[in-house]
Chains A and B, each alone.
Chain A
Amino acid sequence: MNILTCLKRVPETGAKIVLTDDNQEIDTTNLGFTMSPHEECAIEEAVQIVEGQGGTATVLTLGSEEATEQVRTGIAMQADEGVLLETDGSEWGPRNIAGAIADFVRQRMERGDGFDLLLFGNESADTGNYQVGVRVANELDLPCITSIKDLEVTDDGVVARREIPRGSEVYELDLPAVVAVKEGLNEPRYASMRARMQARRQEVKRVTPERRHERGLEKLSLQSPEDDDGETDILGDSPDAVPAIMDVLETDLEVL
């Protein structure tokens, strides 16, 4: 089975998000980069399926040269092949990203080198648009399901489960198909140091994508939400604070 997993490079923000002076971007001067937890799970799933039944796991991202770092993380997690749809690093909207990915998949299909399963993170960690996977599925006329937390390959296709309160919904899809997944799907492996070193040497294929659409959703500016944090009542700095905690639980909050 040949599986394509699509991921996105995002800054690894910590206790606070700092914006650039013009409020257009996150100030990444002091930040590392990562991919969304959803996509780590997608790669892990692809690699596990391929380990179980053969085939290839390909990881792809659309972004600047720097995004090869995240593609190589995928390779270090034992994906076979990495692809960069190389841009100047500016923000592409979901329609254009989906269009570029669909173009790539179509070219591979025409070469007889297509994919049986396309995996996406359910939403990107940063822009949270919730639509790239769906748009790719529509462009390629493939069945699609999103918000998936459990995936099983069967003789006929895939069985996908979506979590709901107290249970899960079950969906069945024929292959080829598009599935957008969420963290919790599996426990992604840590790539070993050795695997990371090897991944650094592996070639990442580069493709220049075509940007087809005008921006339909145009970013004007970014802003941090107001935090309505009031004062913090420090109850103590040792277990001697327990009576004060009891007082809060009993009197202030009435939860005891």
Chain B
Amino acid sequence: MILSFVEHEDGKPEDSSVEMLTLARDVAGQHDVPLEAVVFSAGEGVAEAVGAFGVETVHVVDHDGIRDYAPEAWAESVNQLVSELEPEAVLAPGSERGHEVLAHVASKRGLPMAANCLDVTAGEAYELTRQRWGGTLLENARLTGETKLLTVAPNEISTEQIADPNGATTREFQPTLADEDLRVGLVEIEESDEEGIPLGEARIVVSGGRGVGSAEEFDKLEELADLLDAAIGSSRAAVNEGWRSHDDQVGQTGAKISPTLYIPCGISGAVQHMVGCKGAENILAINTDPEAAIVDHADYAVIADLHEVVPALNEAIREQKDGA
């Protein structure tokens, strides 16, 4: 069988988990074995939700100490389940928890782990493709080990439900946990008092780079963002200059965004920036350099000084809104 680690919120699987299940089902099909899942704290409807993606059995880990996230205890639970079920492979989403839990499992079992995989040819060894450099480079690799451990790259796999789902059977699993397994756990959640549209959820993102020139000059971009109900993003260069906070940074070590429209102004389009915005449906670049990589990547481009174009655009949008 293939075991999948599914993250869910009140029974609703996270997108990255559903993407992972789509690949996990493919792997199970290649082995001709069933797909099963492990979840922590049974949310209403989780069995039905994962059943729609081909999971036949859901192992619900039930233990008082770990209702909330506890990386080592969750990993130890998965580890014990792996010992019991002896799956061919364990797949987890390429999320923060997915990577963390599976890395612990790998370490406990002395096995290798392949992070952020895109596709797998299963066999005695697995031949797989995985992301390097946050997805700007791909690696074809061979994974060995008694149990193959892999995480699945987020936002890369188009999800697919099975034709006639029956829902999955639920089974409780009681791990045996020592105090030590419980030493690290989620203590509380602090809500941020940030206002405005979070970068990851914005439909439009107006973004600025080194070409903006100063923190003050970002005012023009802020105004454009206001007019478009957009969020503000930035390149790492603008963050390093101290013009923006790191919360705004788009890219390999910043936010990964997938808006309908991305408007990079004065951003050159380095690979580490582009992996953050490749999910954007449309890119409208404003840049003085026609040779800049961002112009190549864009759907629309204006080859001009952003300090002239952005205020003129703001004016035009304001007029249009006033006229309407």
Contact = CB atoms under 8 A, between A and B. Distances in A.
Interface of A is mostly: mixed
A237 interface: yes
B297 A161 contact: no
A153 interface: no
A233 B186 contact: no
Given A37-B236, A232-B295, A131 B302 contact: no
A225 B303 CA distance: 27
Interface string B226-259: 0010000000100000100011010011100000
A127 to B, nearest CB: 6
A146 interface: yes
B159 interface: no
A235 B96 contact: no
A229 B297 contact: yes
A86 interface: no
Contacts of B272: 13
Contact of A144 (B71, B115, B190): B71
Interface range on chain A: under 10, 10 to 19, 20 to 34, or 35 or more? 35 or more
Nearest to B97: A147
A151 B201 CA distance: 26
B29 to A, nearest CB: 23
B192 A17 contact: no
A13 B139 CA distance: 16
A16 B313 contact: no
B39 interface: no
A172 B187 contact: yes
B304 interface: yes
Contact of A134 (B103, B236, B269, B284): B103
A191 to B, nearest CB: 13
Contact of B313 (A144, A170, A245): A245
16 contacts: A94-B113, A127-B139, A128-B132, A131-B113, A131-B115, A135-B103, A145-B184, A166-B192, A170-B186, A223-B138, A236-B303, A245-B309, A245-B313, A253-B260, A255-B228, A256-B320
- State the 7 A-B residue pairs at the shortest beta-carbon distance, nearest first: A216-B112, A184-B246, A131-B103, A134-B103, A15-B293, A138-B107, A130-B99
Interface of B: 69, 71-72, 96, 99-100, 103-104, 106-108, 110-116, 127, 131-145, 151, 180, 183-192, 194, 198, 200-201, 203-204, 228, 236, 242, 246-247, 249, 252-254, 260-261, 268-272, 282, 284-285, 290, 292-293, 295-304, 308-309, 312-313, 316-317, 320
